[in-house]
């Protein structure tokens, strides 16, 4: 099942085990490797009194499917301690709020959400939602490889700003950029 | 036959013609896609009869070999099942790729061999020959 969605759309989506049909938690957020912009997994919402118990994290390689109603995993043993998944990432942080700057050195905006393409267990970052300096929102599609650092996300001068509600336009633009890259 | 039609039917021993109780709940093994036991109302403790001891699931009564074959739950999963924690009816039906397809209203099965034939959803039927899992959150079916 192919889906295009915002990372924030996954907030609260149940994580269900295929072995016992049990809810193992709820997705809180997607975790992205700041070195390359790839999805490494998901953080889960804290549960229980005061949210003290470690809700765990879900590495992407334990996910069997990201569906429209649930994220399916093989068994609860696929969850890892919250800190352990991020430990290999250096300074793991929220990509939201990052500046988006073009090659001329002009700030295009800052990241407000991440656009994901999901196909079964494959989850790719294909774009971002940005808020422009005039406070209007737009979507941008990203090629497979792009330059990102802890300071900024670098985009081309000719990047197309897509309407904020047209996720499928991001999917089309990202697919055509990737096939052009591959050619 | 649907589970809802079978529930409440009398269970009678062929050994001595005594009524052991009535059908309370069907226990389903997901991977086999079949009914593996019947839970009987009116029996405290040992209230399960394995399907192989059901000699005939008849129109008026369910015939079983003998009362001595009744047993209690033998695993934590069975204990939870007989308490009704995984009750199929009303449970969410989820595909293994994470799409909710409805709520389970009833189950259609072949009373001659216990095999499941279809899940009856609040909107339409879905043929099944096996399930992925039956649990407290959902009934998971192949996509």
Output the six-digit token pair for B108: 């259609």
Report the sign of the C-alpha dihedral through residues A161, A167, A173, A178, in that order: positive
- For residues A56 and A81, the answer to whether their CB atoms sit within 8 Å is yes
The alpha carbon torsion through B82, B86, B91, B93 (nearest 10 deg) reads -130
Q: List CB contacts of A47: < 8 A, sequence separation 6 or more.
A: A25, A26, A53, A55
Give the 3-state secondary structure of residue A3: strand
For residue A91, is pLDDT > 50?
no
A39-51 pLDDT tens trace: 889 988 877 555 5
Taking the C-alpha atoms of residue B116 and residue B134, their distance in angstroms, rounded to an integer, is 13
Taking the C-alpha atoms of residue A30 and residue A17, their distance in angstroms, rounded to an integer, is 19
**Helix/strand/coil (H, E, C) string of chain B?**
CEHHHHCCCEEEECCCCCEEEEEEEEEEECCCCEEEEEEEECCCCCCEEEHHHEEEECCCEEEECCHHHCECCCCHHHHHHHCCCCCCCCCEEEECCCCEEEEEEEEEECCCCCEEEEEEECCCEEECCCCCEECCCEEEECC
Q: How far is CA A123 from CA A31, A63, A109, A115, B138, in A?
A: 11, 10, 25, 10, 24
Chain B residues near residue A69 by CB distance under 8 angstroms: 94, 98-100
Across the interface, whether the CB atoms of A1 and B94 are under 8 A apart is answered no
Across the interface, whether the CB atoms of A120 and B97 are under 8 A apart is answered yes
Q: What is the mean pLDDT of chain B?
A: 93
Pick among A70, A75, A116 to test the B interface (most B CBs inside 10 A): A70
Residues paired with residue A4 on neighbouring β-strands, in sequence order: A117
ipTM of the complex: 0.83
Name the burial class of residue A9, with classes exposed (0-12), middle (13-18) and buried (19+) by CB atoms within 10 angstroms of its CB.
middle
Place of tokens 């002009």: A106
pTM above 0.90, yes or no: no
Chain A residues near residue B142 by CB distance under 8 angstroms: none
Across the interface, whether the CB atoms of B98 and A20 are under 8 A apart is answered no
Q: How far is CA B106 from CA A18, A143, B117, B122, in A?
A: 22, 48, 11, 9
Give me the mean pLDDT over the A114-126 stretch.
92
Give me the mean pLDDT over the B24-42 stretch.
94
User: For B50, how many CA atoms within 13 A lie in the half-sphere containing its CB?
Assistant: 7
Chain A residues near residue B96 by CB distance under 8 angstroms: 18, 64-65, 72
Give me the mean pLDDT over the B22-37 stretch.
94
Name the H helices within chain A: 82-86, 167-182
| C-alpha distance from A75 to closest chain B C-alpha (Å) | 11
A131-152 pLDDT tens trace: 999 999 999 998 766 677 777 8
């Amino acid at each position: 099942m192919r889906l295009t969605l915002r990372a924030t759309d996954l907030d609260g989506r149940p994580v269900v085990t295929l072995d016992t049909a049990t809810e193992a938690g709820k997705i809180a957020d997607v975790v992205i490797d700041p070195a390359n912009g790839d999805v490494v997994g998901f953080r889960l919402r804290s549960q229980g009194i005061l949210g003290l118990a470690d809700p765990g994290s879900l590495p992407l390689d334990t996910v069997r499917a990201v569906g429209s109603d649930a994220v399916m995993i093989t068994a609860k043993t696929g969850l890892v301690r919250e800190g352990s998944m991020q430990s290999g990432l250096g300074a793991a942080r929220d990509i939201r709020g990052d500046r988006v700057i073009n090659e001329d050195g002009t700030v295009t905006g800052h990241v407000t959400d991440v656009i994901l393409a999901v196909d079964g267990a494959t989850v790719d970052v294909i774009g971002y939602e940005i808020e422009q300096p005039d406070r209007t929102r737009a979507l941008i599609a990203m090629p497979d490889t792009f330059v990102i650092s802890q300071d900024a996300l670098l985009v081309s001068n000719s990047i197309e700003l897509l309407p904020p509600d047209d996720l499928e336009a991001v999917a089309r633009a990202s697919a055509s950029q990737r096939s052009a890259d591959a050619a | 036959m649907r589970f809802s039609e079978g529930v409440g039917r009398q269970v009678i021993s062929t050994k001595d013609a005594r009524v052991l109780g009535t059908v309370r709940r069907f226990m389903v093994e997901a991977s086999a896609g079949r009914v593996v036991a019947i839970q009987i109302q009116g029996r405290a403790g040992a209230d399960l009869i394995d399907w192989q001891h059901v000699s005939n699931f008849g129109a008026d009564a369910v015939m079983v070999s003998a009362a001595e074959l009744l047993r209690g739950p033998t695993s934590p999963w069975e204990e939870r099942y007989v308490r009704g924690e995984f009750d199929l009816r009303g449970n969410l039906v989820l595909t293994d790729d994470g799409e909710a397809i409805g709520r389970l209203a009833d189950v259609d099965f072949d009373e001659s061999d216990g095999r499941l034939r279809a899940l009856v959803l609040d909107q339409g039927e879905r043929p099944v020959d096996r399930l992925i899992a039956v649990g407290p959150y959902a009934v998971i079916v192949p996509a």
